[in-house]
Structure 1
Amino acid sequence: MKYKVLKKQNSSKTCLVCGVKNDLGLKARFYQLENGELASIFNSKEFHQSYPGRVHGGISAAILDETIGRAISVSDETVWGVTGSLELRYKKPVPIDCDLITVARVTRDTRKLFEGEGEIILPNGEIAVTAKAKYVKMPIDQIADECDMAEEWLPIPDDEPVEYIEIPGR
C-alpha cells in the first residue's frame, strides 16, 4: 500500500543510523506518513553484516530503536526520547545491499514516557524483525552535552522529493 509523505524529518551529521557524514552509518531517511506512522528507508552495506549477506542483529536493533524513538515527533516535534527498554523478535534474515523499510508507531503516550512498536519489512513484504520499546521524554539540552543543534540536526533534501512511500505487504 502507498502512503502519502507529510514531512521528511531532519538528520544528524554523525549518528550511526541517520548521520549524513558518518561513512560507516546507515544514512537512514525518515518520513512522517499520512496514517500517523514514521517510515525509515535505509540500505545496509557489507560492513553492517554479521554472517555473510546478513545484517548484524545490533544494526537491526539500532534502526528499530531510532525509528520507534522518532515516531513520537510525528505528533509533537518538541519531544525527544531516551530509550528505557527495547525488545526485539528476529523472524527472518535481513539482507545487505538492498533498500529496506522500517515502520514505527507510538502505542502509548503519557506525560513523561511513551511506548512504541515497529518492524523491518523486506522487499517482498515479509516482516524480518519486530520491536517494542519504551522511552523517557527529555529536553534535548539534558540529552546532548554542549551540542549546537543547528550544526548537528539538519534538513537534508532528497535528490528527488519523496511524495509517497510504498510499504510492501500492506
Structure 2
Amino acid sequence: MAKTPHKVARKQYNSKLCFICGLQNNSGLKASFYETEAGELIATFYPTEEHQSYPGRLHGGIASAILDETIGRAILIGSEEDIWGVTTELTLRYLKPVPLDRQVRVIARITSQNRRFFEGTGEIVLENGEVAVTASGKYLKAKIDSVDFDTEVNQWKVVPEPSDPEVIEL
C-alpha cells in the first residue's frame, strides 16, 4: 500500500503526568503530537507490554484513548490554541489488531465546528498503511483556564526531541 507524506508544521505540547502525553508517566504512552501543513494532527507512540490486552496486541481501551486525545487536540491547530476539547461522544470501529513494540501512528482532523462544539475523525494507521481502528467524536469547546489546569505545575510545553520528524508517512 502506497504511503502519503505529511509535512510537519509544528509540534504540540506534552505534559508531565497525562497518561497519553505525559513524559514522566512511567505507565503512559508518552505520545508526541505533530500538526501537519494540511491541518491534520498526527500522534506517534511506542506501545509496550504494559499497554497490551491479548499478548502482542494493543488494548482496545488504549486505542480508544489515543484516538480520543488526538481528535480532541486537533482543535488546537490554528486559532483555537486556548480551547480544549471535552469529549461528549466517541464512536470507534476496530478493524485490525494493533501490534506492540513498534511505532503507532494516529491521524485526526476536525470535520465541523460551531461556537460551542466541534466534531472530528481519526484513524490508527499500521506500518503497512492499513487502517486498524477508526473513530469519530463530538467535543465541547472549553477554555483552558476553565479546566483547572496549571500549565507550569503540569509542565505543559513543547519538548523538542532529536527524533522529531519533518515528514510523517502514513
Q: TM above 0.5, one fold?
A: yes
* Uncovered stretches (5+) of structure 1, i.e. residues with no partner: none
Task: Give yes or no for the alignment of 1:155 onto 2:158.
Answer: yes
130-139 or 72-81, which deviates more? 72-81
Identity between Structure 1 and Structure 2 (%): 53
Which residue of structure 1 aligns with residue 59 of structure 2?
Answer: 56
- RMSD (Å), alpha carbons: 1.0
Q: Structure 1 residue 15: deviation in Å?
A: 0.5
Task: Give yes or no for the alignment of 1:111 onto 2:95.
Answer: no
89-98 or 154-163, which deviates more? 154-163
Which residue of structure 2 aligns with residue 123 of structure 1?
Answer: 127
- Could you give the per-residue CA deviations for residues 19-53 of structure 1, whole angstroms, max 9, x where no partner exists? 00000000000000011100000110001000111
Which residue of structure 2 aligns with residue 78 of structure 1?
Answer: 82
Q: How does 1:1-170 map to 2 (within 5 A)?
A: 1-75=4-78, 76-144=80-148, 147-152=149-154, 153-167=156-170
Q: Structure 1 residue 135: deviation in Å?
A: 0.3
How many residues get paired?
Answer: 165
8 Å Cα contact 1:72-1:106 kept in structure 2 = yes
Q: For the residues of structure 1 that align with 2:66 and 2:111, how far apart are their CA atoms?
A: 18
* Uncovered stretches (5+) of structure 2, i.e. residues with no partner: none
8 Å Cα contact 1:13-1:154 kept in structure 2 = no
3-state SS, counterpart of residue 47 of structure 1: helix
Q: For the residues of structure 2 that align with 1:83 and 1:19, how far apart are their CA atoms?
A: 19
